[in-house]
């Protein structure tokens, strides 16, 4: 789809929660393009609906490894390439959080909500850490979006079930989230860092 639209893409297989895979991914970008201007930390997982007293340590470790450690590893590698303190020319990082971080997702997946809360805090801290080094760091916090992630969490009807609870009475689209990400990556957001942008229909 990217090529058909006139763009260029490089696919690298890996697990963001595995340090060696993350390093290999960034080295592949180095070889193919020679520089890095932007990073979007979008990889993430949910699990089946459960209360905290039903969650195994394996579930919790997987959630945190992919949703928290993964974005931090990717940001680490990006900063090494973008930051002026490393000889970089600057850049922008956008972390994909979730409205769950603000609501907690009780009775569904408080572990997922907590992992996204960690991403919010990481965004704020990293933004301030690299603010003088030409790197901007922001987050987008999607709400109920019509994607397959709900089915992967065992709730394929979740969007339909929850849409009437939203102020805008509809789910969002992946394009609406993508436009928010593109804005934060663009020069139009050149004085924006440490921001968390809700794309959640008012929820």
With 0.95 as the threshold, say if the pTM is over it. Answer: no
Q: What pLDDT shows up at residue 19? A: 98
- Give domain 37-199's CATH architecture: 3-Layer(aba) Sandwich (3.40)
Q: What pLDDT shows up at residue 5? A: 93
Tell me how far apart the alpha carbons of residues 86 and 26 are, in angstroms, rounded to a whole number: 15
The DSSP bridge partners found for residue 198 are 141
Residue pLDDT, tens place only, 158-181: 777 777 888 888 888 999 999 999
Q: What pLDDT shows up at residue 145? A: 87
Nearest to 203 by CA among 48, 98, 46, 94: 98
Catalytic residue of the set 33, 109, 112, 191: 112
- What percent of the chain clears pLDDT 70, i.e. is strictly above it? 96
Domain edges within the chain: 37-199
109 is catalytic: no
């Amino acid at each position: 789809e990217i090529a058909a639209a006139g763009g260029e893409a490089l696919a690298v297989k890996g697990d963001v929660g595995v340090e060696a895979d993350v390093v290999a991914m960034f080295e592949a970008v180095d070889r193919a393009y020679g520089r890095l201007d932007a990073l979007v930390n979008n990889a993430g997982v949910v699990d089946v609906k459960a209360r905290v007293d039903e969650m195994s340590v394996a579930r919790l470790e997987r959630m945190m490894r992919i949703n928290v450690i993964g974005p931090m590893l990717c940001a680490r590698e990006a900063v090494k390439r973008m930051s002026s303190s490393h000889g970089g020319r600057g850049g922008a990082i956008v972390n994909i959080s979730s409205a769950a971080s603000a609501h907690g997702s009780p009775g569904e997946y408080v572990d997922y909500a907590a992992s996204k809360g960690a991403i919010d805090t990481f965004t704020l801290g990293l933004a301030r850490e690299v603010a003088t080094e030409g790197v901007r760091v922001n987050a987008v916090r999607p709400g109920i979006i019509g994607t397959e992630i709900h089915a992967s969490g065992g709730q394929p009807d979740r969007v339909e079930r929850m849409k009437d609870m939203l102020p805008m009475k509809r789910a969002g689209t992946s394009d609406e989230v993508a436009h928010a990400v593109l804005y934060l990556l663009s020069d139009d957001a050149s004085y924006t860092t440490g921001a968390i942008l809700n794309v959640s229909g008012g929820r």
